[in-house]
């Protein structure tokens, strides 16, 4: 597995199979745009197939706060420690930031607690009609 903090040589053709279960998933082209517009990214590449198999993004002001909106590993690659490595690498990139926040479903709280994160309350708005990014 190769981990990268840049999108050098990453194309939309390398971003298939993500956003499983989303009613209106972003296209690979939109996926690439959201990666490009993120403050920080970590990409996991299968070094045999040269396909992206996982990613994590952060949006930050670069001073006090950062938010991790997306972490995903392709289902056939889960259970190999890729998600753990992505989170650890992202938190390392953000270690000088005062607050690093993310929202997750209740069943994922124990997963993120392993990284020293603590459960908190959050509020959100979801515009499901905009889920595809168009």
Write down the pLDDT at residue 126: 81
Q: Which residues contact 2 (CB under 8 A, 6 or more apart)?
A: 44, 45, 47
- Asked whether the predicted pLDDT for residue 110 surpasses 90, the reply is yes
Query: What is the C-alpha separation between 73 and 53, in angstroms, rounded?
Result: 6
Residues 26-72: tens digit of each pLDDT: 999 999 999 999 999 999 999 999 999 999 999 999 999 999 999 99
Query: What is the C-alpha separation between 112 and 101, in angstroms, rounded?
Result: 11
- Asked whether the predicted pLDDT for residue 80 surpasses 80, the reply is yes
Q: Which residues contact 65 (CB under 8 A, 6 or more apart)?
A: 97, 98, 99, 100, 101
- Answer whether 126's CB lies under 8 Å from 23's CB: no
Residues 89-105: tens digit of each pLDDT: 999 999 999 999 999 99
pTM: 0.92
What is the mean predicted confidence (pLDDT) over 118-122? 91
Query: What is the C-alpha separation between 119 and 109, in angstroms, rounded?
Result: 7
Query: What is the C-alpha separation between 51 and 67, in angstroms, rounded?
Result: 26
Mean pLDDT (the chain, rounded): 95
Q: Which domains does the chain have, with CATH numbers?
A: 2-121 (3.40.630.30)
């Amino acid at each position: 597995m190769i981990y990268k903090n840049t999108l050098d040589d990453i194309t939309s053709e390398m971003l298939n199979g993500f956003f499983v279960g989303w009613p209106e998933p972003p296209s690979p082209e939109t996926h690439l745009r959201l990666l490009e517009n993120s403050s920080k990214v970590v990409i996991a590449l299968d070094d045999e197939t040269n396909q992206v198999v996982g990613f994590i993004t952060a949006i930050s002001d670069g001073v006090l706060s950062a938010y991790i909106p997306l972490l995903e590993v392709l289902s056939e690659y889960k259970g190999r420690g890729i998600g753990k490595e992505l989170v650890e690498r992202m938190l390392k990139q953000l270690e000088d930031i005062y607050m690093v926040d993310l929202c997750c479903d209740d069943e994922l709280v124990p997963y993120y607690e392993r990284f020293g994160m603590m459960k908190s309350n959050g509020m959100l708005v979801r515009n499901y009609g905009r889920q595809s990014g168009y």
